[in-house]
Structure 1
Amino acid sequence: MHQFWKTAFFCASLMGSVATAHAAPSSPVQAPPPNGYQAFFDHLSTEPLRYAAISSHSGKRLLVGLHPSTEGHVTGELMLLDGTMRPLLTADVEGTAPDLQNGQTGACQLTATLKEDSLHLNGPCSRDQISGGLTRTMHPSQLWSQVNSFISPDMSVSAVWLTRTGWNAAITPAPTP
């Protein structure tokens, strides 16, 4: 139980900032993936390396599923759910990692590219957990925005800790009072 609360604490700031960073005030839900949220979740659930955490502050759930693509590289999916299990964000993930399926540990560098920004997770990882700093960088669209971003980058950093043991708790709806 201690591990769960520790995981939830580290993810609380991430899930609050990610949800507000990617959600318009009038419509907090991102457009569904082409094949729908359920199909996206079903695919995510089949990944051999699954990590998740629940925010103790808001009940939001962050799910990440990965598989090796080439030696030293992984690809997969990321999904953010609100406390009622409603999808808020989906994205493809890619990056570098040791051979996690065979028990290697090391540093992971993962990136999820979204429409207006990217999320970068850098930190230690193993078969049982992924942790580290999550950085958000904006994708400027106009020339002046690109110049301004170069001079003063729009970045925010959060700490995240996702675990394999957190997966079942994160995909199980909270009991209703």
Structure 2
Amino acid sequence: MRQCWKTGLFLALLIGGVSGAHAAATTQIQPPPPNGYQTFFDHLSAEPLRYAAISSLNGKRLLVGLHSTTEGHVAGELMLLDGTMRPQLSADVEGTAPNLQDKQSGTCQLTVTLEEDTLHLNGPCSYEQLSGGLTRTLHPSQLWSQVNSFISPDMSVSAVWLSRNGWNAAITPAPTP
């Protein structure tokens, strides 16, 4: 339903500046989703489970909204905002999780499929937080890139921590100096 920008920029870099290997990635703003960013944000904000983080390095904000689809499965949306609250990325999220709405904790495996990459978040989660290792799988479109990716896959792993408490801070613009 929602497509993302083609740069393959690793979300952990944008949130925490954790992975220097991806610092050279180009940061282009994606075209808005077909229904517009505001509609996407409104839908994301209506999800019963909302998590967010703000980068202390660059002020970028990662928002995730989820709902249960079937027993043990969740779906929802992800949105990345820059430090000035401009949308940079929007995408669908799906995966497995314990019943977070009933405040169970366990292991989550979430997937965000972008045009040229897939991001995987695997780690502990609960009603209050999502965390774990974030890895990236490239889906290059050119044959030589596919061969190169097969021979030397991107093995980047970064840590990410999103919390329910971070939601209000992440959707509130920073005060102007």
Which TM-score bucket, shorter chain as reference? 0.7 to 0.9
Whether the 8 Å contact between 1:138 and 1:155 is mirrored in structure 2 is no
Q: CA deviation at 1:141?
A: 1.8
What pairs up with 1:50-69 in 2 under 5 angstroms?
A: 50-69=50-69
Q: CA deviation at 1:155?
A: 3.4
Runs of 4+ in 1 over 3 A off after TM superposition: 14-22
Q: CA deviation at 1:15?
A: 9.3
User: Which residue identity does 1:171 align to in structure 2?
Assistant: I
Alpha-carbon distance in 2 for matches of 1:77, 1:161: 16
User: Which residue identity does 1:83 align to in structure 2?
Assistant: G
Counterpart in the other structure of 1:81:
81
Alpha-carbon distance in 2 for matches of 1:112, 1:155: 17
Whether the 8 Å contact between 2:19 and 2:158 is mirrored in structure 1 is no
Alpha-carbon distance in 1 for matches of 2:21, 2:152: 20
Q: Unmatched 5+ residue regions in structure 2? A: 1-14
Counterpart in the other structure of 2:152:
152
Change in 2 beyond 3 A, CA 1:33/1:15? farther
What pairs up with 1:108-119 in 2 under 5 angstroms?
A: 108-119=108-119
Whether the 8 Å contact between 1:103 and 1:126 is mirrored in structure 2 is yes
CA deviations 1:42-92 (Å, max 9, x no partner) are 000000000001011100000000000111110000000001000011100
Counterpart in the other structure of 2:10:
none
Counterpart in the other structure of 1:123:
123
CA deviations 1:69-118 (Å, max 9, x no partner) are 11111000000000100001110000000000001100000010011111
Q: CA deviation at 1:158?
A: 1.3
Change in 2 beyond 3 A, CA 1:20/1:52? farther
Aligned-residue CA RMSD (Å): 2.0
Secondary structure, aligned partner of 1:56: coil
Q: Unmatched 5+ residue regions in structure 1? A: 1-10
Counterpart in the other structure of 1:8:
none
Counterpart in the other structure of 1:42:
42
Alpha-carbon distance in 2 for matches of 1:116, 1:90: 14
Change in 2 beyond 3 A, CA 1:119/1:35? same
Q: CA deviation at 1:148?
A: 2.4
Structure 1-normalised TM-score? Answer: 0.85
CA deviations 1:3-25 (Å, max 9, x no partner) are xxxxxxxx4135988897473xx
Structure with a larger share of its residues in helix: 1
Aligned residues: 163
What pairs up with 1:154-169 in 2 under 5 angstroms?
A: 154-169=154-169
Alpha-carbon distance in 2 for matches of 1:19, 1:65: 27
Structure 2-normalised TM-score? Answer: 0.85
Q: What is the aligned-residue identity percentage?
A: 78
